[in-house]
Copies of this chain bind each other. A is one copy, B any other.
Amino acid sequence: MDWLLLRELQTEARLSFSELSRRVHLSPPAVAERVRKLEESGVIGGYRAHVDPRLVGRGVVALVTMSCYGPGCVLRNPEALRSADVLEVHRVTGGACCVLRVAVATMADFEELIDRLSAYGTPSSSMVLSSPVPWRPTLPPGG
A9 at the interface (CB under 8 A from B): yes
Residue of B nearest to A53 (CB): B138
Closest-CB distance, A126 to chain B (whole angstroms): 4
Q: Report the Cα distance A143→B104, complex, angstroms.
A: 11
Give the number of residues in A that approach B within 8 Å (Cβ atoms): 63
Contact A141 B51 (CB under 8 A): no
When A63-B99, A141-B109 are in contact, do A131 and B50 touch as well, CB less than 8 Å?
A: no
When A129-B91, A130-B91, A132-B81 are in contact, do A44 and B48 touch as well, CB less than 8 Å?
A: no
Closest-CB distance, A77 to chain B (whole angstroms): 11
A94 at the interface (CB under 8 A from B): yes
A98 proximity list for chain B (CB < 8 A): 132
Spell out A's residues near B (CB within 8 Å): 6, 9-14, 41-53, 55-58, 63, 75, 81, 84, 86-94, 96, 98-99, 103-105, 109, 125-143
